[in-house]
A and B are shown apart, each in its own frame.
Chain A
Amino acid sequence: MNLKKQLELTRWGTSILTWGWTIVVVLPLIFLVSVSLSADVNQNSFAFWIFPAHPTFENYTGAFEFMSALELPLPSIFVNSAIATGGAVIGSLIVSTLAAFAIVFLRLPGRRLWFNVICIGLVVPTSVMIIPEFLTVHRLGLEGRPALILPYIAFGLSLPTLLLTLFFGALPKYLIDAAVVDGVSTWQLLTRIVLPLSRPVLATVALLLFVTFWNEYPLALNLIRDTGQSTLPLAIANTNTRAGTPYPVVAAIMVMATIPVLAVLAFGQRQLVEGLTQGGAKE
């Protein structure tokens, strides 16, 4: 009897916990969407946060006008984010693919050293590096978009290099050996044989990097000198702190800014989760 009770207790306890946490996660997101759809926020009732008082899209259209009035037109902020994110993702992927290929397949004295050096980047997060990074960009005299994208690539290349090195090293040896016996050039080995086999891991890494850079704030805050080049997180944070910015407008911008990462989650969930949880299951 006692055992039976215990069984039920765990069953019910975890059920309540998982449902409870699901609700805790969802509620604030509902608040956000609801506020972004509300015409009037001067209400102090709980119901208002869940059901928009008078549902309307005018905050969304208003967001465009509001940001244009601040000389930060929303479309150009989206473009800024797209350029910074795109440049960082593509740049990181290219340099890390070449590096991993050289580490695994080519004659490279000191390969373990180079590999370990690049892996240092996995431990130190961007927010710790904001002042050092600011100093470096300042001293190198960099300006404009490269001043943001190059540091992004530096912070973005460790993870793909690690993942690709592990992946390349695990490719079936007979495939590679056969190709070499057939006399393919180094470049052909990369483009005809290794890359086509690496599509899944490249996709995983690209999604991870996309989400990371689309959301990145500390470096953007420190390295973007020209507000016209603000990325979305920076523009949202700055707009929110301006006196007199209506929150429903900020909420509408936040909802719009989240759509791309939600799309990633919807279409690339499996790869994204795989990339984020690697190392959890020991093989």
Chain B
Amino acid sequence: MQIGAGVDLVGPAGPTKWASRKVRRSARRWAEGYILILPALAIFGLFFLLPVYYAVSLSFQHWNGLSPIDTAVWVGLDNYRALLGNEAFRDGLLHTVVLVICNTVLQTGLAFLLAFGLWYYKRRFAAAQRLIIFLPTVLAMVLVGLLWQQTLAKTGPINAIFGLNISWLGNPDVVLGPIVWMGVWQWTGWSMMIFLAAMVAVPKELVEAGRVDGASDARIGWSIVRPLVGYATALVVLLNIIGAAQTFDTVQVTTRGGPDHASETLATFGYWAALDGSGPGAFGLASAGSCVMIAALMLVAVARLRMIRDLD
């Protein structure tokens, strides 16, 4: 689970409600505020902002991770040029784009249908279904990866049920399918919960009015409920994009990006390029890859903030 992903990014202006002036003035010593915020800023600076800085600076250098870091050589844009020519990186980029598109579309669509079905028809067992569908959200992604590795094994239940004999994770032509599937299996329930939380706020009168006017259930879902939960849809889409873009655990524990980079993602590329025994041990290259991804995610976030503003 991505920390903080469940929470909407702050609106464009951030929170507007501070305590009243009187309260703030009452803090006699001006230093009090800084003393209390210091631990957070120090830890965040040291272990979040400093790493970003190191990554950016190392992305312009050559370093093998073994020699002292002072001996790293400044190479300008070489690492970024090398990235473009690196097949593993190009594979990782392509696969990450595929994962983002497939997972976002599948998870968002499926989650909306599930949420609508559970919310609109007040059926028995809806609460139990909701809980079960949500359950994978709290599981470790490592566990999800290993679970499906076994379920999809050559002699595993999926091949047995469907009478197939496919090496799902060993065949470069199909391996991306299971990786997409693991994300859909785990995160659809989370998106569904966000839709459900939004649907609770849909005014009953509007749905009733639609019904009186003779709209079908599908029409009510598409033309009344869907626009009213537009905000939740935007949030779900953003969360699914960020979630799919960071795919690492499920790949690392099942295929390590293989076979022959067929399931490499941008995140596993970074690990492979710098730290994996079979990789080139090129920290500069890996850092350049990280920088590309951080920049891309920032862009997604900015686009998202724009979207919120437009919805307002």
Query: Interface residues, chain A, CB within 8 Å of chain B?
Result: 3, 6-7, 9-11, 14-15, 17-19, 21-22, 24-29, 31-32, 35, 44-46, 49, 91, 94-96, 98-99, 101-108, 111-112, 114-136, 138-140, 150-151, 153-159, 161-163, 165-166, 168-170, 173, 176-177, 180, 186, 208-209, 211-212, 214-215, 217-218, 221-222, 232-233, 236-237, 240-241, 247, 250-251, 254, 257-258, 261-262, 264-265, 269, 272-273, 275-282
* Complex interface: chain B residues within 8 A of A99 (CB): 36-37, 39-41
In the complex, B131 has a CB within 8 A of chain A = yes
Q: How far is the CA of A27 from the CA of B114 in the complex (A)?
A: 18
Q: Which of B117-151 contact A (CB under 8 A)?
A: 117-118, 120-121, 123, 126, 129, 131-143, 146-148, 150-151
Question: Which residue of A has the minimal Cβ distance to B217?
Answer: A10
State whether A133 and B146 are in contact (beta carbons under 8 Å apart), knowing that A125-B242, A158-B3 are contacts in the complex.
no
Bound: A117/B36 CA distance, A: 16
The contact of B248 among A96, A127, A265, A272, by CB within 8 Å, is A127
Give the A-binding residues of B (Cβ under 8 A).
Answer: 1-10, 14-20, 22-27, 30, 32-34, 36-37, 39-41, 43-44, 46-52, 54-55, 58, 69, 110, 113-114, 116-118, 120-121, 123, 126, 129, 131-143, 146-148, 150-151, 155-157, 160-161, 185, 188-190, 193-198, 200-201, 214, 216-218, 221, 229, 231-232, 235-236, 242, 245-249, 252-253, 266-267, 270-271, 274-275, 283, 286-287, 289-290, 293-294, 297-298, 300-301
Q: How far is the CA of A272 from the CA of B6 in the complex (A)?
A: 10
- Cα distance A233–B67 in the bound complex, in angstroms: 31
Q: Nearest 4 pairs between A and B by C-beta?
A: A279-B8, A14-B117, A154-B47, A108-B33
- Known A-B contacts A31-B157, A101-B36, A132-B54; A222 and B271 likewise in contact (beta carbons under 8 Å): yes
> Whole-angstrom distance from the CB of A264 to the nearest CB of chain B?
7
| Cβ-defined contact, B6 with A156, below 8 A | no
A18-B118, A108-B33, A128-B294 known; A136-B27 Cβ under 8 A = no
Q: Given A98-B36, A254-B147: A25 and B133 within 8 A (CB)? A: yes
| CB closest residue in chain A, given B140 | A215
Distance from A180 Cβ to chain B, minimum over Cβ atoms (Å): 5
Contact partners of B188 in chain A: CB under 8 A: 21
Contacts A46-B157, A111-B18, A215-B140; A133 near B51 (Cβ below 8 A): yes
A272 CB to closest chain B CB (Å) equals 7
- Contact check, B40 vs A240: say whether CB atoms are below 8 A apart: no
**Which of A9, A15, A106, A158 interacts with B33 by CB under 8 Å?**
A106
Q: Please tell me if the beta carbons of A240 and B253 are within 8 angstroms of each other in the complex.
A: yes
Separation of A173 and B145 alpha carbons in the complex (Å)? 49
A106-B32, A159-B4, A237-B253 in contact; A154/B142 too (CB < 8 A)?
A: no
Q: CA separation between A151 and B75, bound complex, in Å?
A: 29
Indicate if the CB atoms of A98 and B40 lie closer than 8 Å. Answer: yes
Q: Are B297 and A124 in contact (CB under 8 A)?
A: yes
Task: Name the A residues within 8 Å of B120 (CB-CB).
Answer: 14
Given contacts A25-B132, A105-B24, A208-B6, contact A136 B46 (CB under 8 A): yes
**Which residues of chain B have C-beta atoms less than 8 A from A24's C-beta?**
185
Contact partner, B123, options A15, A102, A103, A186, Cβ 8 Å = A15
Task: Determine how close the nearest CB of chain A comes to the CB of B126; give it in whole angstroms.
Answer: 8
Are the CB atoms of A123 and B235 closer together than 8 Å?
no
Q: Which residues of A contact B17 (CB under 8 A)?
A: 169-170
**Candidate in B9, B143, B161, B195 with the most chain A CB atoms within 10 angstroms:** B143
* A24 to B126 CA separation, bound complex (whole angstroms): 16
Chain B residues within 8 Å of A156, by CB:
3
